[in-house]
Chains A and B, each alone.
Chain A
Amino acid sequence: MTRTLHLAVALDGTGWHPAAWREPTARPDALFTPGYWAALVATAEDAGIDFVTIEDSFALQSAAPGTADDRVDQVRGRLDALLIASYLAPLTSRIGLVPTVTATHTEPFHVATGLQTLDFASEGRAGWRIQVSASTADAALVGRRTVPAIDLEAYRRGEAQEVIQELFDEAGDVVEVVRRLWDSWEDDAIVRDAANGRFLDGSKLHYADFEGRFFSVKGASITPRSPQGQPLVSALAHATIPYELAAQHADVVYITPHSPEHLAEILAEVRDAEERLRPAGRPALLVYADLVVLLENEQADAERALTALDDLAGAPLTSDALVVAGTPSALVERLLDGQRRGLDGFRLRPARLPADLDAIAHDLVPALEAAGVRTPVSPRAARDPRTLREVLGFERPENLFTAATERAPESASSSTEVHA
């Protein structure tokens, strides 16, 4: 078999098309019920999808990103993604669960323990799609800081870069401290030594001892090291600053190329950032391309379905990611081409839920298996589940604190102090 093509599905509401909720099979009235999410993830798991991401934001959705709108003709409202993922953990056994959690307005300590707990509840299938919140609406709901309104046009002209850099620097610090907290208990810190009355070996707990420009966190975590040690960290990135965040801190980056040439440019930039910023000893960043997909068995049907949705929405679908309306077999060719051009995988955003997830599960995945880039789920896999890291080919990471004492002490800088 050739190299495995990694495959993730991005879940958001009733799908990524703003009019998808009006599809006959959509269940917009069930969006706030647990059964809705359990059914979608069961479909993805049965198809052998590696992981699902779950979108989130503090503020209500808006057609004008960053500020509120008054529209009543699109899906508005959502459940907290980390808690949806936690709910799904005991109901699933193979699929990775990757909620979106913002780094901007949250406590790094709570983020760290929340994801560790997801990793325990899922027995090693937790991940994190880190998000940076640059919107004034998010900031106003928290009320602890103001974020200047960033005009999209100004941003594209390269203005507002200082504000963006500041937010991403802070997010980088959040990942750094979260990773330290994840490793703050060594795997064998719990000794249960009844003869000596010791439950813990305190020398195997470590302060995170993080002091940065934006916040400080002492540590250790209240949660022991979780099954994966370090849950998977992923980030969506569209420009240099986010590429740098991903290269320095993430395991997986989602990019949004719109053509083969664009893909080549982005890959070159990501690999350059990796060379400059990636910590020594960390495995190479996996690069996934995001695609919005609408699938029908005939090309003409797919195009008609997209046009019908666009008509309902009152405007053609626009997205940061490429929109692909077509047949599963054409999509297979596109994915294989992307793999040949250097991508490790794709994160597919179904335009319509559940319709396009069903098509991914029942048509696309079997075609990828036939092409030899995915392995069918075996009965054995169901009995002997692997961690999300294992599914993606990563080793279980060495603990930052013990690695630091055995190798380069600067790799964990001030955090190497033994708690004694």
Chain B
Amino acid sequence: MSASGLRQVHLAAHFPGVNNTTVWSDPSSESQIAFSSFRHFAQNAERGFFDYLFLAEGLRVREHKGRVYEADVAGRPNTLAILAAVAAITKNIGLVGTLSSTFNEPYELARQLATLDHLSGGRVGWNVVTTSDAFHGANFRRGAFLDRDDRYRRAAEFLTVAKSLWDSWAPDALVADKASGRFLTPGGVGEVDFHGDHFDVTGRFTLPGSPQRYPVIVQAGDSADGRDFAGEHADVIFSLHSEFADAQAFYADVKGRLPALGRSEDSLKILPAIAFALGDTSAEAEENAREIALAQTSGPTAIAFLERIWGRDLTGYDPDGPLPAIDPDPAGAGITQGRANNSADPKATADAWRARAEAENLSIRELVIALTARHALVGTPSQVADEINRFVQERASDGFVIVGHTNPHGLDEFVDRVVPELQERGVYRESYPEGEPLRRALGVREYA
């Protein structure tokens, strides 16, 4: 809340991901893995005073029909290592990485996150994800071993262990007094001795408390388990609810649970992911949005989208023609590995899609565009700023995770044109306070 009494907008910058949202065929598109792209993307977001940079993670190259999926951008860095490198070339922006609580061990990850918090001066956040399946598990010693129900229990225990490690050095443990020869306060480094259902961790941590003590905890799970986990542990929810009424309902539900948990409404920020398209006029913005959608949905992308439901090869079909008359193959579930959008009832889904395509006279590609169109911010910079501000003032969100469609220049125009509009409305910062940790920038609980 600012002096003006207006609720303040929080923004995160989503590094372009490895699905068809990222248009690699655009002439402005550059390498998705070269460090120069991370440098540009991060420094541009910092120029726009974003709260944090957000990095997704995928632990296996996607496959479709038993082969590497070729139509989308692929190839990404190790989350921790790239955030450490980005910390060196940024000063103020938060650095939030997605890391699995299933395919990591708490001692090692707690130590890596604390290291990042020290290296970045208190700018680190952790998007906790719990996915565990045999496809991803095949890349790890641990393999796939968790029931769906156990994932959040492991994640919660993981955080408990991590926090006990982050708390294990007393605030005055590090003395480093040359004259007396005392490096540590006797008893200042406590021994952690944890034994639970998932972990047994005994010993001493190698790091004093970091600037934030705990990284900002981000959580995206939308299930009942996910919401409970967020209520207890999260500082930010990375939400899928970006349509206004739905977002308002979700916001009320999640924030309504907080008092019973002893938390203030402000202590948990809700940031839906959202795309955008700008123009000098509304009509131009709409036209740009259509062009982006077309570029995101190439012929092969549209066919592959159908194949995930049909469970069979459809490459013989014309993406600009009608939907296949043939029914889905019940044996073809799991045709795509490495992303979660298989349908529970492929036949019913296929029937519904055919009905819609017929009623609206849509080709395969047009149908896929219609199906995947999410609420997006489309308009002039002023209109987009108004819409963002409406969400925040009317409690549909605390801001957004902004998703651009090209790498690394996807948010350049947003920073150039929308950020000044938000600043003019008095709802967005005009500078970063010196040395402010990410927790304070977000206005969530502080521990240091």
Contact = CB atoms under 8 A, between A and B. Distances in A.
A28 B176 CA distance: 6
A59 B206 contact: yes
A170 to B, nearest CB: 10
Contact of A83 (B84, B89, B184, B298): B84
B68 A200 contact: yes
Given A198-B300, A199-B73, A117 B78 contact: yes
Contact of B70 (A32, A89, A110, A200): A200
Nearest to A312: B181
B174 A29 contact: yes
A205 interface: yes
Interface residues of B, number: 76
Interface stretch (B109-117, B324-332, B350-358, B413-421): B109-117
A399 to B, nearest CB: 16
23 contacts: A34-B121, A68-B203, A78-B207, A84-B84, A84-B115, A86-B84, A87-B84, A89-B88, A106-B108, A109-B103, A110-B104, A114-B81, A117-B85, A140-B203, A142-B108, A142-B201, A196-B300, A197-B299, A199-B73, A214-B141, A219-B139, A222-B76, A224-B75
A201 interface: yes
Interface of A: 21-24, 26, 28-29, 31-34, 38, 57-60, 68, 70, 72-80, 82-84, 86-91, 105-110, 113-114, 116-118, 120-121, 123, 137, 140-144, 185, 190, 192, 194, 196-202, 205, 214-224, 312, 419-420
B178 A28 contact: yes
Contacts of A105: 105, 108
Nearest to B18: A222
A76 B189 contact: yes
Q: Enumerate the 9 nearest inter-chain pairs by beta-carbon distance, A residue then B residue, closest first.
A: A202-B68, A143-B200, A86-B84, A117-B81, A197-B300, A218-B138, A121-B85, A113-B78, A194-B25
Interface in B61-120: 61, 67-78, 80-82, 84-85, 87-89, 103-105, 107-108, 111-112, 115-116, 118-119
B134 to A, nearest CB: 10
A116 B34 CA distance: 11
Contacts of A107: 103-104, 140-142
Scoring B67, B70, B71, B208 by chain A CB atoms within 10 A of each residue's CB, the highest score goes to B70
User: Secondary structure at chain B's binding surface: helix, strand, loop or mixed?
Assistant: loop
A76 B184 CA distance: 8
B75 to A, nearest CB: 4
B159 interface: no
Contacts of B68: 200, 202, 205, 220, 419
A109 B140 contact: yes
Interface in B105-164: 105, 107-108, 111-112, 115-116, 118-119, 121, 138-143
- Identify which of A83, A221, A419 gathers the most chain B CB atoms within 10 Å of its CB: A83
B204 interface: yes
Nearest to A24: B178
Given A60-B206, A73-B183, A141-B202, 12 more contacts: A77-B208, A79-B119, A84-B84, A117-B82, A141-B201, A141-B203, A142-B107, A142-B108, A192-B24, A198-B70, A205-B68, A221-B61
Nearest to A227: B34
B80 A58 contact: no
Given A60-B205, A218-B139, A223-B33, A90 B85 contact: yes
B374 interface: no
Contacts of B317: none
A83 B203 contact: no
B378 to A, nearest CB: 25
B39 interface: yes
Interface in B161-188: 169, 174, 176, 178, 181-186, 188
Contacts of B298: 197
A79 B124 CA distance: 15
A110 B78 contact: yes
Interface of B: 24-25, 33-35, 38-39, 58-61, 67-78, 80-82, 84-85, 87-89, 103-105, 107-108, 111-112, 115-116, 118-119, 121, 138-143, 169, 174, 176, 178, 181-186, 188-189, 191, 199-208, 298-301
A121 B115 contact: no
Nearest to B34: A120
Given A26-B178, A60-B204, A89-B88, A83 B105 contact: no
A205 to B, nearest CB: 5
Nearest to B186: A72
A34 B73 contact: no
B118 A33 contact: yes
A38 B140 CA distance: 33
A91 B183 CA distance: 30
Nearest to A37: B119
Given A28-B176, A84-B119, A87-B85, A78 B202 contact: no
B201 A223 contact: no
A83 B183 contact: no
Contacts of A32: 118, 174, 207-208
Contacts of A420: 67
Contacts of B75: 185, 190, 222-224
A215 B141 contact: yes
Nearest to B319: A197
A72 B180 CA distance: 11
B178 A21 contact: yes
